[in-house]
Structure 1
Amino acid sequence: MRTFFIRFASLTSLLCLGLPALTQTTPQEQRAARAFHEAKASPLELHVFLSRMPKGADLHMHLSGAVYAETFIQDAIADNLCANPVTLSFTKNIGLTSSLPAQPICAEGQVAVATALKDQKLYDGLVDSFSMRGFVPTPGFTGHDQFFATFGRFGNMGDHIGEWLDEVATRAATQNEQYLEIMSSPSSWDVIQVATQIGWPTGPSDPIANPTGDATGASPAELAHLRDQILASPVFRDTLAQDRKEIADASATRNRIERCGQPNAAPACAVQIRFLGQVARAFPPARVFAQTLLYFELASVDPSVVGINFVQPEDAYMSMSEYHRQMLMLDYLHSVYPKVHITLHAGELAPGLVPPAGLSFHIREAVDLAHAERIGHGVDIMQENNPHALLKQLADHHTMIEINLTSNDVILGITEPNHPLPIYRAAHVPVALSTDDEGVSRIDLTNEYTRAALEYNLTYADLKAMARTSLEHSFLTGPSLWQQQDNFTRVIPACATVPLGAEKPTEKCAVFLKSSDKATQQWELEHRYKVFESNLP
């Protein structure tokens, strides 16, 4: 054990010196490193520096949580919604006035959301209710409670997904981001109803073979039979087609707002977006399986959907009690759809939030059973059984951790020195920074880069490696630009004879880039670094 900690300290020192595997430094990169070091003396100057720095991808963001409260208020006004001044939540109107423009008629004790534009107290109350702004924990109501309660308060709105995509893409473009993997939940209710009517398979649970939880009904044969029953319903195919249309319509709306493809296209058009189907995990197994199956099918036929994830509080009763069975579901569905990518919220837990046993196996089962290629949060890694062996496994298998510093702070109360980011880095587990729910948390990705640099004494080279890691572990199609995964020293031979990130690659390199969405974005990142570093004073 002592040897481990000595080695850990040595690796941490090396990483803080900015010595992770990177391409050979250039004079431009050295100048950028000096400028970063000088800016680091002032958090405000550092924020300005990092806002311009290329950041690659944000791989962990929920669309509904990424939108700012002010947007929800404007959308609710457009939808003629009402607001409850006591619960500070949106409600549906009970009718519209006959006068034009029509105004919402609200139930007793409620007011039109538009009232908030003339009532600053109500406006502030709604913004605070929909976010973490100004929140102060009280006995019995924690940051965790406030964070997850926000989502139920800004419901009842119409379809604004295309507008929300524009908002997050525009914010990303202003921070020199280029790729987003956005978690969203296309329509699934009708398929869930079909599965609920069919019911969950029964079968004996073997507590010896499954010591971590209930496996009843989750054998491959039982799940295969349930899948066949759900797929046989005409509702399933109708819902699948509806979901594809929802995504296409939202993307078209975003492109229209941003004038993509036109001479006056907005900078946000350059931000590439893909989707992850997010499954609500805190529900009975038939419902979870149906939604998961739907999104596996969706990702198999719609190239804009690149994978799936499980969401909702990991500490919720159903999330905890169903965790093992859900991992078995994913194990089975992965065998049927091996090309569909999987990233999972796992280890978004902290001591005291659940009993100690609940902290001991979630990350391990996510990778061993559910075939997760990335882990979201991973905060409780050192409470897992045999954590050092698990860290080695994550490093050996190049399983990336999506790091959400502000989210872990406001939800779990986990900050430096209790956050495992330095431990992951010392163990050579790939990590990348992400926002989680930037609207609810009132942050952006630049905030996370600034926070990481200041709280963990990261260097310019460290942050640059994280940006590269984000694209390396994206679910974009095609091979990587780099010869070896997570080793940013040598590019593939086809592009090795041209300066990295050159505006005009050789014909051979251009052919390769055209064949790979991932490599194209990686080359673009290197080009952005070339421009950024060359233009620093």
Structure 2
Amino acid sequence: MSRTRACLLALPAALSLATATPLAAAPVVGREAAVGAILAEAARDPNELRLFLHRLPKGGDLHNHLSGALYAEDMIAWAGEKGLCLAPDGAGFVAPPCAPGAAVADVAKDRPALYGALVDSLSTRGWQVGVGTGASSGHDQFFATFERFAPALIGRDADAMIAARRQAAGDGVLYLELDHNPPALLETALGAPAVALDVAGLGDFYSREAPGLVARVPAMRAQIDAEEATARQGMACGTAKAEPGCAIAVHYLAWALRDVPPAAVFRALILAFALAEQDPRFVGVNIVQPEDWPVARADYDLHMAMFRFLAQRHPGVAMSMHAGELAFGQVPPADLRDHIAKAVASGARRIGHGVDIAYEDQGRETLARMAREGVAVEINLTSNAVILGVKGAEHPLALYRRHGVPVVLATDDEGVLRTDLTREYQRAVQEHGLGYADLKAVSRASLEYSFAPGASLWRDHHADQWAKPCAGGVVTTPACRSFLAGSEKARLQLDLEQRFARFEEDALAATASSKKNT
């Protein structure tokens, strides 16, 4: 898909909603306060709160791993279609031939208890209500699921895209930034030669490997072309029967594994940076896998050097890095001292998780730098509670906000964690006391600090100060229309503002009607 075509996907919807009314007008302030009072009342009842937040426009989900976004039930269905078998221990899938009664299709059809146990093995559903908590930690249960469901997921990336889009559309999300690779990227990376690699050797390795790796990028782009075409067909996009998920704006972050040999990590990053530079659907790069695993801990500084090396050669590629996804006692104190600081110093424009910031030696300085430079933190409340055991007052969400660091809420792996973005907003209200204006700021930040291409609708990150072509919130002028046509990010932001205006009007009208009838 060309960059121009990608930018035009959301254009008709955004511009058709435009009116001559200044969306940034003064009455909005009073309206916000009134809706804030409605949220405060709803927060007294979790069910009322869920009803309120489900309709809340949520901007983007910027920390969303496509494989982890899938629910176990979908993968069980795919495993049945493939003829896969239930693993001997009942946790996950294996290739046929199947033992008697172990065909996944049969389990799904007439063995509900076994089916339920399988769902629990492929997610943290059971663990979160106490099933198996004595046998494994939330951390181990979570990361074990990926190997268990991998056989079902192979070859189903298009179906995964459909599922992610459907979930987003049903959750009030406008934009997804999915951590997703073409299948060939990791296959190529993991085929790296078994050679030692250190910081001093990055240049020579790059000179030898990069030309051949970059030559494979067109084939990887073709894989994404095929996945997206299948997904569009599966949702009837472009037809009268198009599903709501077709309207979700989607971009990708290419990623590397961090718990594999250095040559494989560097190969993956070389490909990820090249893909992000050549394909407008890929708007950045990332690094994944548990930060506490042995290789990830030992090679952390080397991985940061890889990012710096490649950023110099691809200065236009944005970086989001998982950093500080650690809890006190989980690793030796030395591993808590500087991971976030090093990621920021290596050029990360967003930090994924950032949970251990209070344990870093230069924590205050890093917070100040993130605030000053606009480095956002991706907060994943359910993920941090399940995987790290960090929640409530121990979670640094309030610390980041107090220091002026841009904050976004995200799902991380919503299928495995059995959550959604509404649930993350609900936890932010119930566990951290965020009010309506806070949630609105978080939602706006999820677009402002996204890597969606184009200039922001807002000046200096201030939602009440619109870019000069659209000053005052009047969006029907030729200058503003031209500006919006050239910026996918600005179009998404305009769409969000218009949705907020309708949401607030509907909330106030519903409250007025309720009072009238009581």
**What TM-score comes out, normalization by structure 2 length?**
0.89
Work out the CA distance in 1 between the residues paired with 2:257 and 2:428. 30
CA contact 2:453–2:488 (8 Å) conserved in 1:
yes
Deviation of the 1:376 alpha carbon: 0.4
CA contact 1:82–1:113 (8 Å) conserved in 2:
yes
Deviation of the 1:313 alpha carbon: 0.6
What secondary structure does 2:361 align onto?
coil
Which stretch of the first structure deviates more once superposed, 290-299 or 138-147?
138-147
Distance 1:335 1:414, change over 3 A: same
Query: What is residue 377 of structure 2 aligned with on the other side?
Result: 401
Query: What is residue 103 of structure 2 aligned with on the other side?
Result: 112
CA contact 2:214–2:271 (8 Å) conserved in 1:
no
Query: What is residue 137 of structure 2 aligned with on the other side?
Result: 142
Query: What is residue 221 of structure 2 aligned with on the other side?
Result: 244
Match of 1:526 among 497, 505, 513: 497
Is 1:372 equivalent to 2:348 in the alignment?
A: yes
Which structure shows the bigger proportion of residues in helix conformation? 2
CA contact 1:191–1:239 (8 Å) conserved in 2:
no
* Counterpart AA for 1:191: T
Query: What is residue 11 of structure 1 aligned with on the other side?
Result: none
Match of 2:207 among 222, 225, 228: 228
Q: For 1:284-295, list aligned pairs within 5 A.
A: 284-295=261-272
Pairs aligned (count): 478
Kindly provide the CA deviation profile for residues 6-41 of structure 1, in whole angstroms up to 9, marking residues without a partner as x: xxxxxxxxxxxxxxxx98534433332222122111
Match of 2:314 among 314, 333, 337: 337
Deviation of the 1:140 alpha carbon: 6.0
Deviation of the 1:386 alpha carbon: 2.2
Deviation of the 1:429 alpha carbon: 0.4
Is 1:172 equivalent to 2:165 in the alignment?
A: no
What secondary structure does 2:464 align onto?
strand
What secondary structure does 2:394 align onto?
coil
Is 1:183 equivalent to 2:182 in the alignment?
A: no
Deviation of the 1:45 alpha carbon: 0.6
Distance 1:189 1:30, change over 3 A: closer
* Counterpart AA for 2:57: P
Work out the CA distance in 2 between the residues paired with 1:251 and 1:87. 33
Work out the CA distance in 1 between the residues paired with 2:433 and 2:352. 22
Is 1:442 equivalent to 2:433 in the alignment?
A: no
What secondary structure does 2:174 align onto?
strand
Deviation of the 1:191 alpha carbon: 2.9
* Counterpart AA for 1:91: V
Is 1:162 equivalent to 2:158 in the alignment?
A: yes
Is 1:64 equivalent to 2:60 in the alignment?
A: no
What secondary structure does 2:60 align onto?
strand
* Counterpart AA for 2:486: S
* Counterpart AA for 1:364: A
Kindly provide the CA deviation profile for residues 302-344 of structure 1, in whole angstroms up to 9, marking residues without a partner as x: 1111111111110000010000010001010000011111000
* Counterpart AA for 1:224: G
What secondary structure does 1:345 align onto?
strand
Distance 1:464 1:195, change over 3 A: same
Work out the CA distance in 1 between the residues paired with 2:172 and 2:112. 34
* Counterpart AA for 1:412: L
Is 1:270 equivalent to 2:241 in the alignment?
A: no
Work out the CA distance in 2 between the residues paired with 1:337 and 1:450. 39
Distance 1:498 1:482, change over 3 A: closer
**What TM-score comes out, normalization by structure 1 length?**
0.86
Match of 1:73 among 67, 72, 76: 76
Work out the CA distance in 2 between the residues paired with 1:263 and 1:193. 43
Query: What is residue 121 of structure 2 aligned with on the other side?
Result: 129
Structure 2 residue ranges without an equivalent (≥5): 1-23, 511-518
Deviation of the 1:70 alpha carbon: 0.2
* Counterpart AA for 1:336: R
Work out the CA distance in 2 between the residues paired with 1:307 and 1:393. 21
Work out the CA distance in 2 between the residues paired with 1:84 and 1:190. 25
Deviation of the 1:139 alpha carbon: 4.8
CA contact 2:173–2:248 (8 Å) conserved in 1:
yes
Work out the CA distance in 2 between the residues paired with 1:405 and 1:389. 24
Work out the CA distance in 1 between the residues paired with 2:466 and 2:186. 45
* Counterpart AA for 2:168: A
Which stretch of the first structure deviates more once superposed, 59-68 or 34-43?
34-43
Deviation of the 1:532 alpha carbon: 1.2
Deviation of the 1:385 alpha carbon: 0.7
CA contact 2:25–2:472 (8 Å) conserved in 1:
no
Work out the CA distance in 1 between the residues paired with 2:46 and 2:452. 34
Work out the CA distance in 1 between the residues paired with 2:466 and 2:472. 10
Is 1:351 equivalent to 2:325 in the alignment?
A: no
Structure 1 residue ranges without an equivalent (≥5): 1-21, 94-104, 202-216
Distance 1:47 1:362, change over 3 A: same
Deviation of the 1:190 alpha carbon: 4.9
For the aligned residue pairs, the C-alpha RMSD in angstroms reads 1.7
Work out the CA distance in 1 between the residues paired with 2:134 and 2:120. 18
Match of 1:218 among 188, 199, 224: 199
Distance 1:288 1:42, change over 3 A: same
